[in-house]
Amino acid sequence: MAHLHACSRTHARTHAHTHSHTHTQTRTHIHTHTHTHTHTHTHTHTHTHSHTHTHTHTHTHTHTHTHTHTHTHTHTHTHTHTHTHTHIWTLTRTYPRTYIHAHILARQGSLRCAIILLVDCIRKL
């Protein structure tokens, strides 16, 4: 009890500081997928022109000639769409590390009293 009594009379101040060190491990995986879609549109325009020609033979008969001209225009439009999908996976692991830093300021009293105060302060943490 003598040392406890000495500690009660001493002006020893104990300051305990808890420092947490966090180690973070991050793994990142990037996957890129590209999808290409092609759309083709064809437009066809048809124009028909008919020409009728009548030729008459005198006092005999009539001949009718029909000429048909067909024009076809084809227009082709191609549209290409590219889609890119990017997937990112991030895995973070945290490992906590706790360090206790103790500072002792003792005025009067013995070193043993300061150690007792330090241990008591650490136990409170």
- 21-76 pLDDT, tens digit each: 666 666 777 777 777 878 888 888 888 888 887 877 777 778 888 888 888 888 88
Q: What CA–CA distance (Å, rounded) separates 86 from 19?
A: 39
Domain count, the chain: 1
Q: What CA–CA distance (Å, rounded) separates 69 from 93?
A: 78
What local confidence, expressed as pLDDT, does residue 61 receive? Answer: 77
What is the residue whose two structure tokens read 């001949």?
Answer: 63
Would 117 be classed as within a structural domain? yes
Would 114 be classed as within a structural domain? yes
Would 16 be classed as within a structural domain? no
Would 34 be classed as within a structural domain? no
Would 17 be classed as within a structural domain? no
pLDDT at 6 over 50: no
**What are 86's two structure tokens?**
């990017």
- Per the structure, the complete domain to which residue 108 belongs is given by 1-11+99-125
Would 116 be classed as within a structural domain? yes
pTM exceeds 0.75 for this model: no
Would 28 be classed as within a structural domain? no
